[in-house]
Homo-oligomer: A and B are copies of this chain.
């Protein structure tokens, strides 16, 4: 397998982007990444998108985006793994370059979620769970993650204040990110006094419904070294794993097997461990998700994730800064794009281009992107070249 590097990144504003269509947003992010990489051609494309069909009535998204990006007739493939679609697309692009089939690959992600009603968005998102056994019976994603939160609180003593601390930290980071959907700072009291969606999760424990797109350009590491563009970032570990799609099929709701397995593979391949990671974007679709994932990635002892965030260990300047971008919570969660947006943030951090949210001296970064209640997880470890 050839070594692979990221040589360009691009991202749109995240939020309610009424003036742009799904294809407009993808093209904006794609062109930004191509410009950032200073490449004159692309050999193939992968597009992460969760549900073009339900959100905007459009499938066949790979060729659509290649066409509008002016790249047809190159191969273009849409990849879906619910909210981990972007991470899964990144892995497909990585394998394409690693195999030798393509040299310059664009991996993008996009979701246009605000063109349907709130009810329809809730239905579309619920297709990431087991429809026959979960969603059709009425449970929604806040409900599923609330069950995980209650189990974690019961087993480990995690508190509502600790959940709220995740949101507060991510909004603090998001306030430093110009593309964030909700850059306002919030407080623990504010979270606890916000509307209860599914006990114990308040609305400020939940990531928003977001329009947005992100893209990265990959090429072989040796080519990246010769191109002489911006500092390349090498993908040194790639792990992808799955779990039962239904929450009720799992032995333990307080840990996510797909996260543990995907991280284990990425760590093994990279020769790095949790202690070597300088900055990490994790899948904080709900505050409890960030706590569980921070434990399952090995950053904290099992059950201590809540105390860690409360102690400031996951802040910029802390032991392991998580979600410097503001995460899905504050930056926003355009589901199919989120995994690619994570890679954009880590590349900026490792290049030293993260402005006020820069983690000083960051050399090794990681992304962890998750689908549903963790039925899929994709982890990439990256190192500055």
7 A-B interface contacts by CB (under 8 A) = A57-B127, A62-B80, A63-B243, A75-B241, A77-B80, A92-B92, A96-B99
Interface assignment of A346: CB less than 8 Å from any CB of chain B: no
Is B60 a contact of A241 with CB atoms below 8 Å? no
Q: With the chains together, A341 CA to B128 CA distance in Å?
A: 26
Contact between B67 and A244, CB atoms less than 8 A apart? yes
Contact B123 A57 (CB under 8 A): yes
Contact with B along A223-241 (1 / 0, CB 8 A): 0000000000000001011
In the bound complex, how far is the Cα of B82 from the Cα of A61, in angstroms?
Answer: 8
Kindly identify, within residues 65 to 80 of chain A, every residue whose CB is under 8 Å from any CB belonging to chain B: 66-67, 71-80
Whether the Cβ atoms of A376 and B60 lie closer than 8 Å is yes
Determine whether the beta carbon of A100 is less than 8 Å from that of B56. no
Return the chain B residue nearest A100 by Cβ.
Answer: B1
Q: Mark A338-381, 1 if CB is under 8 A from B, else 0.
A: 00000000000000000000000000000000011001100000
Would you call A129 an interface residue if the criterion is a C-beta within 8 Å of the partner chain's C-beta atoms? Answer: yes
Tell me whether A19 is interfacial, beta carbon within 8 Å: no
A132 touching B81, Cβ below 8 Å:
no
Q: Is the beta-carbon distance between A75 and B240 smaller than 8 angstroms?
A: yes
**What are the 5 tightest A-B residue pairs by CB atom distance, in nearest-first order?**
A99-B99, A75-B240, A60-B82, A63-B375, A63-B242
* Residue A101, interface by CB 8 Å: yes
B58-A127 in contact (CB<8A): yes
Q: Knowing A240-B75, A242-B66, A242-B75 touch, does A60 contact B127 (C-beta < 8 A)?
A: yes
Do B60 and A375 touch (CB < 8 A)? yes
A53 at the interface (CB under 8 A from B): yes
Residues of A within 8 A of B (CB): 1, 21, 23, 44, 50-54, 56-64, 66-67, 71-82, 88, 91-92, 95-96, 98-101, 123-124, 127-132, 135-136, 238, 240-246, 249, 257-258, 261, 371-372, 375-376
Contact of A60 among B76, B136, B372 (CB under 8 A): B372
Please indicate which of the listed interface residues A62, A98, A131 has the most CB atoms of chain B within 10 Å of its own CB.
Answer: A62
State the Cβ distance, A175 to closest chain B Cβ, in Å: 32
User: Which of B54, B78, B101, B258 contacts A95, CB < 8 Å?
Assistant: B101
